[in-house]
């Protein structure tokens, strides 16, 4: 029970980063591989500003706003120019990785490569659940992940802008033909994705250290979670992929050894992609085919 609940807590973090990656792909058919570094910027700014005497809540807001601004810049600088030349090019893969390297090394140059403490927030609180115990920060991560996932789905399905994003995702040329500003839709998608990544950083910050290289690890695990869930088709599936990844990683940590959580997620990914190459919750996965009612016979 302990490693399952702990896995759900850390899986919520992975799921938020996975959703951040999936949202940009859902709307623009590109993946911003700098999402982990956007999370890192939020963590580093919050830690540095709070250490300088800024109220924690204000430091967190500044960190989130900075992450959103960088998210927009990543689209305008690293993705949009390439898509304007060739919408079907994969040059954005290299350019977003380059943007990630710039952010990571820039953070190391500005703040130094050493780790710094992050405000503890709710980590000192203990919440017993059955025979397991979670700290307040872990409970908060689970609650926030649930709220943001539901909110995203409501906006996507029930609002005009959400339907506009769905139309842009399906056929951007047709969306432009009916008067939609696909550039604005893409910018909003990158703002939302950066916000999700930044919130993930604030949730995981108290359990780790603020470090310029923090984003690489969580960005990688977020990508794995997205692929496990099938988030390239449905962003919400990325959250379920994150939960599965978190439980598997914590289980490996508890049942194998403390180093297993570094390599076991990759093993899980390989096994799942062999079974369902597009993820567990994709429309073509065996799991989703089992849920469909059998076709009626003529």
Mean pLDDT, each 10-residue run in order, the chain (298 residues): 85 93 88 92 92 91 94 93 81 90 92 84 80 85 93 86 74 72 87 94 87 89 90 85 89 78 82 82 64 52
165 touches 189 (CB < 8 A): yes
C-alpha distances (whole Å) from 192 to each of 49, 70, 214 are 23, 12, 21
What was the pLDDT predicted at 292? 56
What was the pLDDT predicted at 146? 94
Sequence-ordered alpha helix ranges (H) in 159-205 = 160-170, 172-177, 182-204
CB-based burial label for 127 (10 Å; 0-12, 13-18, 19+):
middle
Domain chopping of the chain, boundaries: 2-285
Mean per-residue pLDDT of the chain: 85
Q: In angstroms, how far is CA 144 from the centroid of its own chain?
A: 13
Give me 187's structure tokens: 């910018």
C-alpha distances (whole Å) from 269 to each of 12, 127, 150, 233, 266 are 17, 31, 25, 17, 5
What was the pLDDT predicted at 98? 93
Q: How far apart are CA 221 and CA 266, in angstroms?
A: 9
What was the pLDDT predicted at 277? 77
What was the pLDDT predicted at 93? 87
What single DSSP character describes residue 74?
I
What was the pLDDT predicted at 284? 65
What was the pLDDT predicted at 183? 84
Nearest C-alpha neighbor of 114 from the set 13, 42, 44: 44
Residue range 1-22, pLDDT digits in tens: 777 888 899 999 999 999 999 9
What was the pLDDT predicted at 294? 54
Q: How far apart are CA 164 and CA 175, in angstroms?
A: 8
196 touches 23 (CB < 8 A): yes
Global confidence as pTM: 0.89
CATH class of 2-285: mainly alpha
What was the pLDDT predicted at 145? 94
Residue range 48-107, pLDDT digits in tens: 999 888 899 999 999 999 999 999 999 999 998 988 887 777 888 899 999 999 999 999
What was the pLDDT predicted at 201? 92
17 touches 200 (CB < 8 A): yes
Q: In angstroms, how far is CA 166 from the centroid of its own chain?
A: 19
**Angle between helical axes of 136-158 and 160-170 (0-180°, round to 10):** 80
What was the pLDDT predicted at 29? 86
What was the pLDDT predicted at 274? 86
């Amino acid at each position: 029970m302990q490693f399952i609940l702990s896995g759900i807590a850390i899986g919520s973090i992975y799921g938020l980063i996975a959703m951040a990656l999936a949202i940009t792909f859902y709307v623009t058919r590109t993946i911003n591989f700098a999402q982990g570094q956007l999370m890192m910027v939020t963590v580093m700014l919050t830690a540095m500003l709070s250490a300088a005497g800024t109220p924690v809540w204000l430091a967190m807001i500044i960190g989130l706003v900075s992450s959103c601004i960088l998210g927009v810049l990543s689209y305008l600088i690293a993705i949009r120019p390439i898509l304007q030349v060739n919408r079907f090019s994969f040059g954005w893969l290299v350019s977003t990785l380059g943007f990630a390297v710039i952010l990571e090394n820039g953070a190391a140059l500005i703040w130094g490569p050493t780790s710094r403490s992050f405000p503890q927030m709710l980590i000192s609180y203990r919440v017993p659940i059955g025979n397991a115990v979670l700290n307040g920060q872990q409970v908060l991560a689970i609650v926030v992940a649930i709220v943001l996932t539901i909110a995203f789905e409501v906006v996507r399905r029930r609002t005009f802008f959400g339907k506009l994003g769905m139309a842009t995702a399906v056929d951007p040329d047709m969306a432009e033909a009916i008067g939609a500003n696909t550039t604005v839709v893409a910018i909003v998608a990158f703002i939302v994705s950066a916000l999700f990544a930044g919130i993930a950083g604030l949730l995981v910050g108290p359990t780790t250290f603020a470090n310029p290289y923090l984003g690489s690890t969580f960005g990688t695990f977020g990508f794995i979670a997205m692929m496990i869930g099938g988030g390239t088709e449905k962003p919400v599936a990325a959250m379920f992929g994150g939960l599965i990844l978190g439980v598997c990683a914590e289980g490996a940590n508890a049942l194998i050894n403390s180093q297993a959580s570094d390599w076991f997620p990759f093993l899980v990914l390989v096994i799942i992609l062999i079974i369902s190459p597009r993820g567990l919750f994709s429309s073509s996965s065996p799991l989703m085919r089992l849920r469909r009612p059998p076709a009626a016979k003529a």
